[in-house]
């Protein structure tokens, strides 16, 4: 007999070799029908794999992330089986579960899969799923594995097997399909009741651009049809919040092929929104001791040779431009730091000058591959809310705290709660690839970790993700479709001070090397505004809204009164407009609602007589009658909350 410990710490005894599925069945038939996988001793496993020794057990269902993952992983096999059936001779790369579903990389030879094939792939999958195919786990020797896929002619699996140790190789068989796989899997395919193939894309084998491009097919499955429908509705809702769509609807920005792809044109309303964000940050930075600087959009190639960026990124940048007579070469600036370094060293610096915080909304240009461009989130010309802090090594921590404060202030003002804080540190086994002294790195990494800990934020630590020049902390936010984008960043840099030979005179009257901190709380204005649009669905907080108030006269008779109100609001620096169109009030309200104008003031006979306004809030409805001063006070309060 063995002891099985359940999550609630109860312990029950079973025969050795009992399977989690049998245990589930012993608890209730309903549970047995819903359980997808089991966590045994912290390892997620097949439900049908016997438990031989006493262990802790967690039965995983659709409500557990691991349950979903098992379902989707098995679904990837099911899809591969369908593909093999429909496209005989297809070869397979990898087919993992992902955050929302799964994919499989497939080599179809010269055949192609397009969206037209999705329906029959789905049908075939469902047909196979209904056969209740069991997933059978089998341990195989490396030889046997190689022979099997050798006979099949699947060079991708052979390559994967080559990297595995003999004795740790397992196959899973389900229906007509056998795959190299670690598992775990569902007991059988009957759990898969709803299937959707989502998209098809090219993906390089092992992510290597030099290797063959395979067809990557994305899909998702559910235990119930209803859940698939809900997922599709959610997807549709998310698409409505797409910043490209809202940006167009609200006339915030546009693109023109004439200007060039990836080069956004900010329309007046969008430009106002962006300026307001910039002003907000400028004010915060001024209070935090930043000094504004302004530098040109281009820089001599020699500058980037000095910084090292030319050697590293020159080939992937916009080509340099030349002067007509002298043939001097200039690059569109891909970042602001070299310019700022030059500002640092235009005169000798003393430790008394540090920390020196130079800030600039600097527009930079980077060549991004055409297929990579995406709305405002990935562009070729964008403006960073950049600043470089030059400080002594022992000021790093304090400066880091100061920057964190600014980032948090912004996130709070904009009600961003759902962000990921990622700390990128050195790869401990590969220290030679980093520049800077061991002592400084250690100090900076410790400082970042301490700051993160004190902040109370949930942080993810990634070893090996640090830049070669220093550790960093990034803030990631998801867009409407769940894709992660990096917004703010704080990076410690030991490299540029070295390359630019930056110095300061210490209290010991000796020369010392300063440390640089690159930081951009928004990241780029373009990307930040894009994410902001998707988070708010275009319903910006009052202080940011391009138009804050619209006055809606019930008929033309009350236009004069409306204009009076407009003047009063204008004098109070409230951004207002009057809808003077010859339309019914219902229509004016509808249009204002659609334009996401935060407040509507309806004025008619009653309001004119009583010298009031009837207030309606966007998305909420009628708030009743206000004296005009009371309304202004209300608005002012709302704005000063940030």
Partner RNA sequence: GCCAAUGUAGCUCAGCUGGCCAGAGCAGCUGAUUUGUAAUCAGCCGGUCGGGGGUUCGAAUCCCUCCAUUGGCUCCA
Query: Catalytic residue at 41?
Result: no
User: Could you tell me the two tokens for 446?
Assistant: 């410790």
What contacts 344, CB < 8 A, 6 or more positions away? Answer: 356, 358, 388, 390, 500, 502, 514
Query: Catalytic residue at 386?
Result: yes
Query: Catalytic residue at 366?
Result: yes
Tell me how far apart the alpha carbons of residues 578 and 601 are, in angstroms, rounded to a whole number: 9
Helix, coil or strand: residue 87: coil
Q: In the 8-state DSSP scheme, what is residue 602?
A: E
Looking at the Cβ atoms of 248 and 634, the one nearer to RNA is 248
Looking at the Cβ atoms of 13 and 611, the one nearer to RNA is 611
Whether residue 619 contacts residue 539, with contact meaning beta carbons closer than 8 Å, is answered with yes
- In angstroms, what is the minimal distance from the CB of 380 to RNA? 9
Q: Which of 45, 309, 349, 366 is catalytic?
A: 366
Q: Which of 133, 285, 384, 395 is catalytic?
A: 384
CA of 494: how far to CAs of 85, 106, 159, 341, 465, in Å? 56, 44, 40, 13, 16
Q: Which of 45, 426, 518, 588 is catalytic?
A: 518
Q: Which of 472, 519, 535, 588 is catalytic?
A: 472
Whether residue 471 contacts residue 444, with contact meaning beta carbons closer than 8 Å, is answered with yes
Looking at the Cβ atoms of 1 and 209, the one nearer to RNA is 209
Q: Which of 77, 244, 388, 519 is catalytic?
A: 388
Whether residue 423 contacts residue 447, with contact meaning beta carbons closer than 8 Å, is answered with no
- In angstroms, what is the minimal distance from the CB of 315 to RNA? 10
Query: Catalytic residue at 110?
Result: no
- In angstroms, what is the minimal distance from the CB of 97 to RNA? 14
- In angstroms, what is the minimal distance from the CB of 383 to RNA? 15
Provide DSSP, 281-336.
HHHHHHHTT-EE----SEEEHHHHHHHSHHHHHGGGSPPPEE-TTT--EEEE-S-S
Sole residue written with tokens 């966007």: 618
Looking at the Cβ atoms of 260 and 292, the one nearer to RNA is 260
- In angstroms, what is the minimal distance from the CB of 14 to RNA? 43
Looking at the Cβ atoms of 208 and 508, the one nearer to RNA is 208
Query: Catalytic residue at 472?
Result: yes
Q: Which of 242, 385, 386, 579 is catalytic?
A: 386
Looking at the Cβ atoms of 69 and 200, the one nearer to RNA is 200
Render the burial of 408-432: b for 16+ CB within 10 Å, e for the rest. bbbbebbebeebebbbbbbeeeeee
Query: Catalytic residue at 163?
Result: no
Whether residue 192 contacts residue 71, with contact meaning beta carbons closer than 8 Å, is answered with yes
- In angstroms, what is the minimal distance from the CB of 483 to RNA? 6
Query: Catalytic residue at 518?
Result: yes
Helix, coil or strand: residue 598: coil
**Residues recognised as catalytic:** 337, 366, 384, 386, 388, 472, 518
């Amino acid at each position: 007999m063995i002891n099985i410990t359940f999550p609630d710490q109860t312990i029950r005894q079973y025969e050795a070799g009992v399977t989690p599925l049998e245990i589930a069945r012993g608890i209730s038939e309903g549970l047995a029908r819903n359980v997808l996988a089991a966590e045994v001793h912290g390892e997620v496993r097949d439900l049908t794999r016997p438990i031989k020794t006493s262990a802790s057990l967690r039965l995983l269902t659709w409500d557990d992330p691991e349950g979903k993952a098992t379902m989707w992983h098995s679904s990837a096999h099911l899809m591969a089986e369908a593909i093999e059936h429909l496209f005989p001779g297809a070869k397979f790369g990898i087919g993992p579960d992902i955050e929302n579903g799964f994919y499989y990389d497939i080599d179809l030879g010269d055949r192609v899969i397009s969206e037209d094939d999705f329906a029959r792939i789905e049908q075939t999958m469902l047909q196979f799923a209904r056969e209740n195919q069991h997933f059978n786990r089998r341990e195989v020797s490396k030889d046997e594995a190689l022979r099997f896929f050798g006979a099949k002619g699947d060079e991708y699996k052979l390559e994967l097997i080559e990297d595995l140790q003999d004795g740790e190789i397992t196959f899973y068989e389900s229906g007509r399909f056998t795959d190299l796989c670690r598992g775990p899997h569902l007991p059988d395919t009957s759990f898969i009741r709803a299937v959707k193939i989502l998209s098809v894309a090219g993906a390089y084998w092992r992510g290597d651009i030099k290797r063959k491009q395979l067809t990557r097919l994305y899909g998702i499955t559910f235990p119930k049809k209803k859940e698939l429908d809900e997922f599709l509705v959610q997807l549709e809702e998310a698409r409505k919040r797409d910043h490209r769509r809202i940006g167009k609807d609200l006339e915030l920005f546009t693109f023109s092929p004439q200007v060039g792809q990836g080069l956004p044109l900010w329309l007046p309303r969008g430009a106002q929104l962006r300026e307001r964000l910039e002003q907000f940050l400028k004010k915060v930075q001024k209070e935090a001791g930043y000094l504004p600087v302004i530098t040109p959009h281009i820089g001599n190639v020699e500058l980037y040779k000095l910084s090292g960026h030319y050697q590293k990124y020159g080939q992937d940048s916009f080509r340099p431009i030349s002067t007509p007579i002298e043939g001097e070469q200039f690059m569109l600036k891909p970042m602001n730091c070299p310019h700022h370094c030059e500002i640092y060293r235009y005169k000798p610096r003393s430790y008394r000058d540090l920390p020196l915080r130079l800030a600039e909304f600097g527009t930079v240009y980077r060549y991004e591959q055409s297929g990579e461009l995406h709305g405002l989130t990935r562009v070729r010309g964008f403006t960073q809310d950049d600043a470089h802090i030059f400080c002594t090594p022992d000021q790093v921590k304090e400066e880091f705290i100061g920057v964190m404060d600014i980032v948090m202030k912004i996130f709070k003002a904009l009600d961003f709660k759902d962000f990921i804080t990622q700390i990128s540190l050195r790869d401990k086994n590969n220290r030679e690839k980093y520049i800077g002294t061991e002592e400084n790195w250690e100090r900076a990494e410790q400082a970042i970790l301490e700051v993160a800990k004190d902040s109370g934020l949930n942080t993810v630590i990634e070893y090996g993700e640090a830049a070669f020049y220093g550790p960093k902390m990034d803030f990631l936010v998801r867009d409407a479709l769940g894709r992660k984008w990096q917004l703010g960043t704080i990076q410690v840099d030991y490299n540029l001070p070295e390359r630019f030979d930056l110095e300061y005179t210490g209290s010991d009257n000796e020369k010392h090397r300063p440390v640089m901190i690159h930081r951009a709380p928004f990241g780029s204005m373009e990307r930040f505004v894009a994410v902001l649009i998707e988070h708010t669905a275009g319903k910006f907080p009052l202080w940011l809204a391009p138009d804050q108030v619209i006055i809606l006269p019930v008929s033309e008779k009350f236009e004069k009164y409306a204009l009076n109100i407009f003047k009063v609001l204008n004098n109070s620096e409230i951004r207002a407009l009057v809808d003077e169109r010859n339309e019914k009030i219902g229509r004016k309200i509808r249009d204002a609602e659609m334009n996401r104008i935060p407040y509507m003031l309806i004025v008619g006979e009653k309001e004119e007589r009583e010298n009031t306004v009837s207030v309606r809030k966007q998305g909420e409805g009628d708030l009743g009658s206000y004296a005009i001063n009371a309304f202004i006070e209300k608005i002012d309060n709302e704005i000063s909350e940030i």
